[in-house]
Every structure is written in structure tokens, then in C-alpha cells.
A = this chain, B = another copy of it.
Amino acid sequence: MPRPTIEDVAARAGVSRALVSLVLRGSPKVSAGRRAAVLRAAEELGYSPHLMARSLASRTSHVLGVMVSDLHNPFWAEVVDGLDAGARSAGFELVINTGGRSPARERQALTGLLSFRPAGVALLGPVLPASAFTGASAHTPVVLVSRSSRVSTVDTVNDDGRAGSAMAVDHLVSLGHREIAHIDGGNGSQSAPRRTGYVTAMRRHGLTPRVVRGEYTEAAGAAAVRALLSPAPPTAVLAANDLNAVGAISALEEAGLSVPGDVSVVGYDNTWLAALRHVSLTTIDQPRAEMGRLAAEALVHRVRGERVTPARHLLPPRLVVRATTAAPRAMSGL
């Protein structure tokens, strides 16, 4: 049995299709009697409007598409929370898709989202080439989270990765560390500014940067640490993100080094993983929910035509000191 349509409701309520449409959209210019009749008929039939038909006819959409690069990273779940709240309060709904960390899959995901003709699209930590979304931005508002762009039709929401890395370095230096290595995020989004921030801060302190290539995964953190062990391990490590840091800690412990006794470790993101008491990772906090909320807001403003200039949010990160950083062994006796 097919789903009831607006026509069925109209017939049952003894009114026209258009009137039903008006009632469903809460128009004030419907008499109370008819309104009640329509609502009752809809209720009895278990009618629910066909969103696709509606948006086709009205040439509008109340859907925001969200492409999440990696559903496994808790960071994004927390950004989505903010996005969801922001969208919901503006009367929009979220449709989520996942890109599986591969440019090709991300491209498919984006195409998939666009085929719904959403009001706007948010790309969370995309790794796909810029050309893929600049094209889309001609027709649909696009906001990037954790990825920068100079294209004027694209909005961006980022934390200040350079400042964040610098904070981490400053914290470690203030504890007495001088040999501080950085595991970077490879091709991942935002890995470049974090690396730059690290290098700049190290130089500012007159220290020698030591960068080892990584990825935003636990395995990469462990592998990077193994590479750092020779000739001599650093006294502190700034990891690419929290997940990466946890991998680094594991590898350090396997090598017989204690954290933070022998080596201090700082993560990045401040996801729930870092906050787990058993992990208790010193990390750089990104305001995740706020980033999601701002992304939603940026799209909504573009949709409503309230802004045509690009939004460029650069949020201040924050150092969260937990249990994985301490003064280096040589210093602790002083």
C-alpha cells in the first residue's frame, strides 16, 4: 500500500490540495474549522509530507549536507554535535555522509550530498582537492571545517593550529624541555599550520625542531615514536592529534620509557579520548562544538543571503594540562 499523499488528505478532509498545503505549512490564512479537519485527516491517514517533492516544488531546501572525513575520529562526532544544534535551531536538518579518508570516496560523498540539492554543504576535514568544492560552491554554499581555503565563495572554520602548537611548545619549554619532537599529520587537514607553529615556536626558543612524518591515527603515532628512539629519544613529543598521541604513549611504554617520567607527550584536539581518566592526556583543546555551530551559522547566513563575503573563523585553541607532561628527568632533581 502506497503512502498517503497530500491528495488523499485533501479528499478525506473535503478540501483542496492547496488548502492542505497551507495548513501543513502553518499558514495563518486558514479558518480554524478547516485547519482542524485537515489535521485530523492527516493524523488518521498517518500522513507525513514528502520532503523531496516539497523541496522540488518550492525550489528551497532545509537540508544541510555534511561530509565527515573520518567517522572513527571522535573529534568529528563532537563537531557534528555543534553543527546539529546550530542547524536545528535555524530550522535545518542534517544529512551526513562519510568520506573514509580517501579523496576519491570523498568526492563521491560530496556528489551524493549535492544530488539532494541541499541548502548548503559542510565538509569536515576534507582531504579532496580544492577544485572539487570550489565548483560546487558556485551553486551551493560550502563551509570547510579544519581546512583553509582562499576561495571567496567558500567559508572556513578552523582553530589556530599555529597558535595551538606554539602553546604546546611553550608549555613544554616552561617545564624545562629542550628536545621536543613533533609527529605531524602528514597529508591530513590542518597538519601544515600545526607543523609551522611548532617549528616557529622552537626557533623562537632557540631550539632545534625535529619533525617526523605521521598521520592522524594511533598506528602512525606508534610508528613515529619507534623512528624517534634512535639515535636518542626526545624528552617530549607533540603528537599530531589525540589518537596519534595515544599510539605514541603505547610505543614509548613498550620501549621501556615512562610517560611523563622519561618523555612527556602532548596531544591535539581534546576529544573524550584525551579526557579518559585512564589516558589523561595533556592536549590542545579545539572548541569542537563551537566550530560546528559556527559552520552551521555560516551556511545559514549564506543561504539567507545575509552575507556574500567569505567567513573566516579562526578560533583560539587552549592548552589543557593533564597527566602526560612533566619536567624532564634531568630537571626534576633540581
Which 3 pairs, one residue from A and one from B, show the smallest C-beta to C-beta distance? A250-B277, A52-B52, A51-B115
Chain A positions 70 through 100: 1 when the CB is less than 8 Å from some CB of chain B, otherwise 0: 0110100110110010000000011111101
| A331 partner residues in chain B, CB cutoff 8 A | none
B72 touches A115 (CB 8 A): no
Whole-angstrom distance between the alpha carbons of A49 and B222 in the complex?
A: 45
State whether A117 touches B52 (Cβ < 8 A): yes
- Cβ of A330 within 8 Å of any chain B Cβ, yes or no, is no
Contacting residue for A112 out of B93, B246, B247, B253, CB 8 A: B93
**Is A215 in contact with chain B by the CB < 8 A criterion?**
no
User: Could you say which residues of chain B place their CB within 8 Å of the CB of A94?
Assistant: 97-98
Is B71's CB under 8 angstroms from A98's CB?
Answer: no
Interface status of A232 (Cβ within 8 A of chain B): no
Q: Determine which of B51, B95, B276 lies in contact with A250 in the assembled complex, contact meaning CB atoms within 8 Å.
A: B276
Cβ of A43 to closest chain B Cβ, rounded Å:
12
Q: How far is the CB of A265 from chain B (nearest CB, A)?
A: 10
Measured CB to CB, the residues of A under 8 A from B are 1-3, 46, 48-53, 55-56, 71-72, 74, 77-78, 80-81, 84, 93-98, 100, 111-112, 114-117, 135, 138-139, 218, 222, 246-247, 249-251, 253-254, 272-273, 276-279
User: Once the chains are docked, how many angstroms separate the CA of A160 from the CA of B1?
Assistant: 35
Q: Are A246 and B276 in contact (CB under 8 A)?
A: yes
Q: Give the CA-CA distance A49 to B114 in the complex, in Å.
A: 9
The distance from the CB of A46 to the nearest CB of chain B, in whole angstroms, is: 6
Shortest Cβ gap from A117 to chain B (Å):
6
A218: which B residues are within 8 A, CB to CB?
Answer: 272, 276-277
Q: Which residues of B contact A100 (CB under 8 A)?
A: 81, 84
Which residues of chain B come closer than 8 Å to A97, judged between CB atoms?
94-96
Q: A250-B276, A277-B222, A277-B250 are in contact. Are A1 and B51 (CB under 8 A)?
A: no
A78 to B71, CA, bound (A): 8
Q: Which of A77, A97, A117, A218 has the most CB of B within 10 A?
A: A77
CB <8 Å contact, B116 and A51 = yes
Instruction: Known A-B contacts: A48-B114, A94-B97, A250-B277. Give 4 more (CB < 8 A).
Output: A52-B52, A71-B71, A95-B96, A254-B277
Question: Are A72's CB and B72's CB within 8 A?
Answer: no
**B93 touching A96 by the CB < 8 A rule?**
no
Q: How far is the CA of A111 from the CA of B93 in the complex (A)?
A: 11
CA gap between A50 and B53 in the complex, in Å = 12
CA of A117 to CA of B117, assembled, Å: 15
Measured CB to CB, the nearest residue on chain B to A80 is B71
Minimum CB–CB distance from A164 to chain B (whole Å) comes to 22
Chain B residues in 8 Å Cβ range of A273: 273
Tell me the complex Cα distance, A76–B116, Å: 24
Inside 8 A of A276's CB, which chain B residues have their CB? 218, 246-247, 250
Asked, given contacts A52-B55, A96-B97, whether A278 binds B246 with beta carbons under 8 Å apart, the answer is yes
